[in-house]
Structure 1
């Protein structure tokens, strides 16, 4: 007879137990109204005092980055180590949803959705702008390396890869795995609070859980609205650059309206008919663009950059991850690395929960490998192709990036594509990718916010999802139209400021996850289902 182990995670609580169902909505009676109230207060205050809100929130963000830089870096390092450990630990054989669970999506669709939700849009812009910025000392250089040198070029690519490789995906993986395990293996509601059940027990359904979910919704909607607002400015700049149309406020608001409309239609169609289809289209277009640039651009240089980027990433990872004794590049690593870590952490409730929603049926080992390793490898090819092409142009004095450097981040990729055949077509594909990546982010974000504000239900009324999709676009459009860039900067600073307290939340969540997985393995061994 095996050891008798009690399942300590049984609870009488069910998703939607504390809900109010009225006017076609099915909402949690605490999380939804408090979240809505805080959103309205924040947006109104930002519109009335955009400069003051920006100054207050940016000082909060800058203070957190300056004082707790070590906390962000060490925590991110820990998340990477924990994820790598999960791949090799015996708990890696545990299947999300139980031993008989089957994947809801094909491997390709699953990967396309998690990649599109995670960082697709950012890669479109920063894969060119970031390495060129480091190489030319646009805003500091990593590890104090001399700019405009071959060593500077190698470290520029390695540092860019560092910001978009293992560390951000480890953050997403910890959140996604925690939520999917407790939701699909333990039958808890699909909401952030459920990941803390091993530590809080049934108290998680009270005020501690409400607070966690409210902060998660605020971080998600402010992060999405900020990205949509700045993304509209970037897309408008690209449209202006390509077609000579004035990329002013009207065009930017029009982009937001268009993205919101398509995202709303996608939300209506649901995950299978909406996000999945768009994500697959994104992956195909991005793959074709990658292959074209790889073979129509400086092919030999790109393949050389593949090796140089990978080796620079590997050899400099420890130095870039060390928060101590960084006097030679304090400005750089505060303005870039710590900023990125705060941003990824503030986005982790949204991206992690969406990944959890679509990952049922995968083993823990499959999950972590797909979320951590595969995106890092794909990003290596993407960065080496686009960043390597841009650096090759700068080093050989070709094009605008070589003569003027980074003038506007949103134009960097188009300026690089200008020196490759069929630039008009590739740039048009680039703009289309930016817009469709924004649609998938908005769509998946609406599904996540809807799940949290409905108490963890995954089948809330369709009108509720439509409400959140329109709300995201409205916040971005109103802030941009009335408050301008100052209001968006304030919103971004607010989202980043959530990064510090959420770092602590993620550390506690990691402990809760490992405790839950270990307990699940003991249960399976006792039942004779695992050795």
Structure 2
């Protein structure tokens, strides 16, 4: 998930949204962060690096074992959680309660374009950077278990795109910002509870328990999941840009170049995180959306237009027609390796991001109706993602089918950086398009880094205006972790990214109550605003 991005970028009015600050009770010590959250999350980073330095094979092997067990044992549970979240959210969206507005504002705080841009910069960052070009081609040359078409043939195109749409579609987006966002918005704006993951468990375990050490542990687990999911894209971005610079300009593709890319990327997103939503974060997200639209227009106008148009409609139709078959695929009907590296991996990734993404959606959606939020996150964003995957991945399929290149070996080895650059070179404009894709990739990951730095700081500090020093600390910490792990080898970046599947187990328990607290919160908001009767 991934990818996935622009997460929890918030610059709040402290006196309006944080009771502790408003009444003067927020001490400077408290502003530095919850000691339990800081200790556990920073301790995780230190322990992961230290253990990797001590015995890299032990760490990678242990995570691989836990990864495989989680995917096999918990996969069906993750799938069911996402299915229920999506359909219950749609039910809320069509109910009278959906007319309630979030955050006690009569008009939206952000314009529609800014709002949608920041939403799209979240999950599409991960998908657009690492999987949009390669995943559809992979499913084209390796037929997914839900389909029986011969790989590499015209008949395999629709199924390949449909499988990609499943991984990056309605279910993944819904768990990131629908029911949980509604529950958090009601708890925060109407009840004065903090925008923290622990708030999602308050209706179940009680406010007193969640204010204690257990609440800190819950927040820390969610932070650790996001760190594991974010450091991966940061590290892989360095390898992808290094490879691209080597391919286009002949720059040496090695650790020195990767480190230089990390330093540049870190400077961008740390500066953005410190400046806040109305400055760097907003500018990066808006620029990236405009650049993505420009690239999409060039591909659609000057590329294989008819092929891409037909592929999208056929692929989306197949996605809808085979929706439940793909969504409920298990290890009994699909190989274990396929499930753990594709469907379960992505679903667990999205769950790991769920609480912090819900905080983001709740914060940037003040003044929006519940219906607008759910439709934007669970319907509009997945459709936009499907179009983007069709333009890049569909172009890759077109050239794979026509024999322009052969990505079979690269994708069978999961070399998605090679796939992205190869597809980019085949797009209209050649090297110019490669540079545009690299720039888009860099800014996408930067928007992930800045918003994640801000998000973790919000969660750790316990209030809505974390210290710029803390924001910068988390940004630097994630870049430093990526640099150290890259020095050990890209395999440790992959191991860390697999770890988010394991962390999805406790995080899913944080998300589980939203299946009933989300609808209840929506009705409570509508009742308080006089839209429905008791």
- Fold similarity call, TM over 0.5: yes
**TM-score if structure 1 supplies the norm length?**
0.90
Q: Given the superposition, is the C-alpha separation of residues 120 and 348 from structure 1 closer, same or farther in structure 2, using an over 3 Å criterion? A: same
Structure 1 residue 507 corresponds to structure 2 residue 512:
yes
Alignment of 1:108-119 (within 5 A): 108-119=113-124
| Residue aligning to 1:178 | 183
* Candidates 201, 207, 215, aligned match of 1:209: 215
How far apart are 1:501 and its partner, in Å?
A: 2.3
SS at the partner of 1:86?
A: helix
Task: From 138, 148, 162, give the equivalent of 2:152.
Answer: 148
Instruction: Indicate the residue corresponding to 1:424 in structure 2.
Output: 431
Query: Aligned pair in 2 of structure 1 residues 229, 291: CA closer, same or farther (>3 Å)?
Result: same
Matched, 1:344 2:336: no
Q: Distance in 2 between matches of 1:26 and 1:292?
A: 47
How big is each residue's C-alpha offset from its partner over 1:171-208, in whole Å with a ceiling of 9 and x where there is no partner? Answer: 10233333233222322111111122222232221133
Deviations 1:338-377 (CA, angstroms, capped at 9, x unpaired):
1111111112233332222212111111111111111112
Counterparts of 2:190 and 2:320, CA distance in 1:
36
Distance 1:510 1:523, change over 3 A: same
Post-superposition CA distance 1:476-523 (Å, at most 9, x none) = 112222x22232233222222111222222112332222333333344
Q: Is the CA contact (8 Å cut-off) linking 2:71 and 2:501 kept in structure 1? A: no
2:401 paired with 1:395: yes
Q: Does 1:157 align with 2:161?
A: yes
Is residue 54–residue 493 contact of structure 1 (8 Å, CA) maintained in 2? no
TM score, norm. by length of structure 2: 0.90
1:5 aligned residue = none
Contact 1:144 1:328 in 2 (8 A): no
Give the superposition deviation at 1:285.
0.3
Q: Contact conserved, 1:195 with 1:513, CA < 8 A, in 2?
A: no
Preserved CA contact (<8 Å) 2:298 2:428 = no
Query: How many angstroms does 1:20 deviate by?
Result: 6.3
Q: Per-residue displacement from partner, 1:427-456 (whole Å, max 9, x unpaired)?
A: 10100011001111010001110111111x
* Cα distance, 1:241–1:215 mapped onto 2, change above 3 Å: same
How far is the alpha carbon of 1:34 from its aligned partner? 3.3
Matches within 5 A, 1:2-21: 14=20, 21=28
Q: How does 1:119-134 map to 2 (within 5 A)?
A: 119-134=124-139
Question: Structure 1 residues 420 and 227 mapped into 2: Cα distance closer, same or farther (>3 Å)?
Answer: closer
Residues 200-209 or 424-433, more deviating:
200-209
Deviation at 1:270, TM superposition (A): 1.1
Contact map agreement 2:98 2:369 (CA 8 A) in 1: yes
The 3-state SS of whatever aligns with 1:187 is coil
Which residue of 377, 380, 383 maps to 2:389?
383
Matches within 5 A, 1:48-67: 48-67=54-73
- 2:321 is matched with 315
Partner of 1:436: 443
Summarize the Cα distance change of 1:102–1:50 in structure 2 as closer, same or farther, 3 Å threshold: farther
Which shifted more, 396-405 or 244-253?
396-405
Deviation of the 1:380 alpha carbon: 2.3
Preserved CA contact (<8 Å) 2:137 2:393: yes
SS in 1 for 2:32: strand
| Other-structure match for 1:359 | 365
For structure 1, the residue ranges without an aligned partner over 5 or more in a row are 1-11
Q: What is the rounded CA distance, in whole Å, between the counterparts of 1:317 and 1:78 in structure 2?
A: 14
How far the C-alpha of 1:144 sits from its partner, in A, is 4.9
Q: Distance in 1 between matches of 2:394 and 2:403?
A: 14
Conserved? CA contact 2:72–2:336, under 8 Å = no
Displacement of 1:329: 4.6
Structure 1 residues 263 and 328, CA, compared in 2 at 3 Å: closer, same or farther?
closer
Distance 1:145 1:226, change over 3 A: same
Deviation of residue 403 (structure 1)?
9.6
Query: Deviation of residue 213 (structure 1)?
Result: 0.5
Could you tell me how far apart the structure 2 residues matched to 1:493 and 1:479 are? Answer: 14
Match of 2:269 in 1: 263
Segment of structure 1 superposing worse, 368-377 or 431-440:
368-377
Are the structure 2 counterparts of residues 103 and 520 from structure 1 closer, same or farther at C-alpha, using a change threshold of 3 Å?
A: closer
1:368 counterpart (365, 374, 395)? 374
Distance 2:135 2:195 in 1: 36
Deviation at 1:248, TM superposition (A): 0.9
Number of equivalences? 513
Alpha-carbon offset, residue 529 of structure 1: 7.7
Q: Aligned with 1:342: secondary structure?
A: helix
Distance, in Å, in 1 between the alignment partners of 2:331 and 2:484 is 43
Structure 1 residues 141 and 418: CA distance shift in structure 2, 3 A: farther
Aligned equivalent of 2:10:
none
Q: CA RMSD in A?
A: 2.5
Superposed, 1:25-36 pairs within 5 Å as 26-36=32-42
**For residues 236-277 of structure 1, what are the alpha-carbon distances to aligned partners after superposition, in whole Å with 9 as ceiling and x for unaligned?**
222222222222111112111111111111122211101111
Between the aligned partners of 1:226 and 1:18, the Cα distance in structure 2 is: 38
Decide whether the 8 Å contact of 1:143 with 1:329 is kept in 2.
no
CA contact (8 A) 1:132 1:406 kept: no
Question: Cα 1:212–1:405, aligned 2, differ >3 Å: closer, same or farther?
Answer: closer
- 166, 169, 187: which one aligns with 2:170: 166
Task: Name the CA shift for 1:52/1:330 in 2 (closer, same or farther; >3 Å).
Answer: closer
